């Protein structure tokens, strides 16, 4: 990104975090909607570890993608932008008699957690922009 100097890694990371949290929200909604569907196993998007690895690997040597037709090196996968998360199955400890693995309390907990972390990211982005604005205005 040309504006990497101003919009540093933090913005990039938060942006990706927002994107992935929205996708996770879709999965949690699906689990709640299917709370009574026989044989349904709840799924979730797991991406925290992947994001962390992508963030860490930024320090090492990177093959820069200077042309849109370049293919990023294996393992690098475009750094933070390349994090897609993996869909994992999260069945409850004991399946119901109909084979449904959704635990409502568990899903509600995940819903709230996801929402709070999303809101936190939004707030930090807003703060970053505010700081930038202060700098542009010269502290006025």
27 near another protein, rule: CB under 8 A: yes
9 near another protein, rule: CB under 8 A: no
Whole-angstrom CA distances from 136 to 7, 8, 14, 107 are: 13, 16, 22, 43
**DSSP string spanning 43-55?**
EEEE-HHHHHHHH
Sole binder of another protein in the list 12, 25, 76, 106 (CB under 8 A)? 25
Alpha carbons 54 and 81: distance in angstroms, whole number: 9
As measured in angstroms, the least distance from the Cβ of 71 to another protein is 19
The binding site for another protein (CB under 8 A) comprises 18-19, 21-23, 25-30, 32-38, 40, 43, 87, 104, 107-108, 111-112, 114-115, 118-119, 122, 125-126, 129
């Amino acid at each position: 990104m040309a504006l990497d100097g101003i919009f540093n890694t933090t913005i990039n990371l938060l942006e990706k975090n927002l994107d992935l949290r929205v996708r996770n929200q879709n999965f949690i909604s699906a689990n709640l909607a299917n709370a009574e569907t026989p044989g349904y196993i709840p799924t979730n998007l797991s991406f925290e570890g992947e994001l962390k690895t992508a963030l860490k690997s930024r320090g090492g040597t990177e093959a820069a993608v200077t042309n849109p037709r370049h293919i990023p090196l294996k393992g690098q996968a475009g750094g933070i932008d390349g994090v897609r998360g993996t869909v994992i199955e999260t069945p409850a400890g004991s399946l119901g008699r109909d084979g449904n693995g959704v635990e409502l309390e568990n899903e509600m907990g995940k819903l709230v957690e996801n929402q709070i972390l999303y809101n936190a990211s939004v707030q930090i982005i807003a703060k970053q922009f505010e700081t930038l604005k202060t700098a542009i205005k010269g502290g006025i």
